[in-house]
Amino acid sequence: MTLPERQLANAIRALAMDAVQAANSGHPGMPMGMADVATVLYSDYLKFDPADPKWADRDRFVLSAGHGSMLAYAALHLAGYARPTIDDIRNFRQLSSPCAGHPENFELAGVETTTGPLGQGVATSVGMAIAERHLNAIYGDDLVDHRTWVIAGDGCLMEGINHEAIGLAGHLQLGRLIVLWDDNKITIDGSTDLSTSEDVKARYTATGWHVESCDGHDPADIRRALNAALADDRPSLIACRTIIGFGAPNKQGTSATHGSPLGADEIAAARKELGWTAEPFDIPVDIAAEWAGFGDRGKALHSEWNDRLANSDRKTEFSDRIVGKVVPGDAFKAYLDGLVAEPPKVATRKASENTLSALTADIAALVGGSADLTGSNNTKTSSTKPLTKADYSGRYVYYGIREFGMAAAMNGMALHGGVVPYGGTFLVFADYCRAAIRLSALQQQRVVYVMTHDSIGLGEDGPTHQPIEHLQSLRAMPNLLVMRPADAVETAECWALALAQENRPSLLALTRQNLPPLRHDVTENLCAKGGYRLRDASAARKVVLVATGSEVSLAIEIADKLEAAGHGADVVSMVSTELFDEQTAAWQADILPDDALIVSIEAGTTFGWERYTGRTGLRFGIDSFGASAPIEDLFKHFGLTADAITPQILAKLGN
């Protein structure tokens, strides 16, 4: 290194000040405070190749404190990535720029994960570290040998998800995970003394982490702490004591630098304080050249890795796996054939387990788990032995009671590549992990959520465990594929569809109670249509009964009664409203014709079903909370029986 490291770090500070000022929006304080740490990390530790941001064996760098996004954009630009360009940075937070307010993985190739909601970056990094250890156990150091680095702030460490994430990481002894804590003792409201008195380092130590402290503005001390972390086989937290807004003489160390531009006068004063004489968005040639050389080490390592991959007898297998190529094979086909030969009467959670038994035998990339509900979610198979600190080659993660942490970790696994994650909990607990599900959808990641006990059909556990509004609220989330199958065949088809979704997550809503077999052919994946005619009317069609999951068999009973009264009734299984809405207008019009009474039946809120029934249709469901009672009593109490619904349909028809 030929230039003082402070000058190199000042390049980050200058770009952060100037970009936030130009946008009149943003957070300059964190990038200015952590610039020295980031410079040391990029210069000597982070393994990356700016010419190939998706190189499989690169280190993963996660900026969990996403509000400090200019640190990531400045570092990527300075390190030689194709984007962001200086014009991208000049247009920070503008519609035309990939430099969004918080880093978005779909905007820039060098951004590993979307971070915004604090704490999720740390939790996502745990999933990345799990994926690295798992793939290393399978393919060895020659092909998989990298680390996950995180820069996190006080907010990341305060959020509840942080407790879940670090507990899991410590338990699994993920020694390739290193978190750099921007310990500046400032939040938006002011000093951290306003809101917390906890000993953060002691908390991490208690969960099995190695903990170091350093002066975040002293490169030698930063290196000492990083080297200590590299030498320890536990995940590491490094408390980097920093000054927020470092270099801004009148505002540094205060919350005034946290979420607002510094202002022209303070920027001028900071330039003088830092000895930075370049014009806004201008990086001196010698500083730019020094930064550009940081990737040389990674380029050489990448070249060596390419040679090892080329000479590996597992090259094709590894390459297919890392890009997410998954195809159900012979075991899955045999399972489908068995469903036709001997149609089972089972809960769809059990049908999911049976499907998974075939899929996990076929697809090694499937890594499952459950938030302490393995026996209820039915997510473990004979092919998925536990993934533990003693054996990372396992394919089943016992997440403990950490729904949110599980969901975020699965995002990390999917983002890392080489793993297709699925995890289970009760549908009602989607509320606990909704923010991570939202990031699955936003980041367009193939994550499969197995959510059982999907209605009042779970019975005596009562209203706290009975999802009412959950299906419709999840359907409202963009780019989330929600599927509620009605029997074993539909469940298998939904799993095949979930694995085929390369750019969105899926959620399978599954029953606790047994359901009769309704489909007896597997020649075509009818669930791919979202909604399809399960049974045609016998008499002249007057009614179309649209139902999901456990209520499809109820719709069959109602159709029988209507047909007996001389009214033809189609039965439509609406497995997925998202997939149905993606079909052609002609398909939709054929399934839901204008000349019929459209009736929806679902053991959840009726809100939203008017999209399909129209204002003149009928909607049967539950618009209150549930109750604690046996299943049969609950369905009768809430009027979800053929005897209760049929007369109302007949009355609407004028009988």
**pLDDT tens string 313-372:** 999 999 999 999 999 999 999 999 999 999 999 999 999 999 999 999 999 999 999 999
Rounded CA-CA distance 389/130 in Å is: 10
Upper half-sphere CA count for residue 549 (Cβ side, 13 Å)? 27
Confidence grade of residue 205 (pLDDT, cut at 50, 70, 90)? very high
Give buried/exposed letters for 611-631 (b at 16+ CB in 10 A, else e). Answer: ebbeeebbbbbbeeebbeeeb
What is the mean pLDDT of the segment spanning 420-435? Answer: 98
What is the mean pLDDT of the segment spanning 97-102? Answer: 98
Bridge pairing between strands 396-398 and 346-347: unpaired
Confidence grade of residue 276 (pLDDT, cut at 50, 70, 90)? very high
Bridge pairing between strands 514-515 and 506-509: unpaired
Rounded CA-CA distance 641/136 in Å is: 53
Whether the Cβ atoms of residue 210 and residue 232 lie closer than 8 Å to each other: yes
SS (H, E, C) 126-183: HHHHHHHHHHHHHHCCCCCCCCEEEEECHHHHHCHHHHHHHHHHHHCCCCCEEEEEEE
Q: Tell me, what amino acid is at 223? A: R
pLDDT, tens digit (0-9, with 9 covering 90-100), for 500-539? 999 999 999 999 999 999 999 999 999 999 999 999 999 9
Rounded CA-CA distance 548/620 in Å is: 12
* Residue carrying the six token digits 């049908």: 351
Rounded CA-CA distance 150/113 in Å is: 11
Quote the Cα angle for 358-362-368, to 5°.
70
Write down the pLDDT at residue 2. Answer: 85
Write down the pLDDT at residue 341. Answer: 95
Whether the Cβ atoms of residue 485 and residue 491 lie closer than 8 Å to each other: yes
Rounded CA-CA distance 267/273 in Å is: 10
- Give the helix ranges, DSSP H, for 383-449: 403-416, 430-442
What is the mean pLDDT of the segment spanning 599-618? Answer: 98
Among 1-10, 473-482, 629-638, name the one with the lowest average pLDDT: 1-10
The residues that bridge with 573 in the sheet, in sequence order, are 532, 547
Q: Is 353 a catalytic residue?
A: no
**DSSP helix/strand/coil, 508:** strand
Upper half-sphere CA count for residue 629 (Cβ side, 13 Å)? 11
Mean of per-residue pLDDT scores for the chain: 97
Rounded CA-CA distance 45/147 in Å is: 10
Token readout for 489 is 């065949």
pLDDT for 1 beyond 90:
no
Catalytic choice (403, 490, 493, 602): 403
* DSSP H or E run through 100: none
Write down the pLDDT at residue 110. Answer: 96
Neighbours of 328 (CB within 10 A): 20
Q: What is this structure's pTM?
A: 0.98
pLDDT for 258 beyond 90:
yes
Of the candidates 124, 126, 125, 147, which has an alpha carbon nearest to the alpha carbon of residue 136? Answer: 147
* DSSP H or E run through 544: strand 541-547
Rounded CA-CA distance 151/84 in Å is: 20
Write down the pLDDT at residue 558. Answer: 98
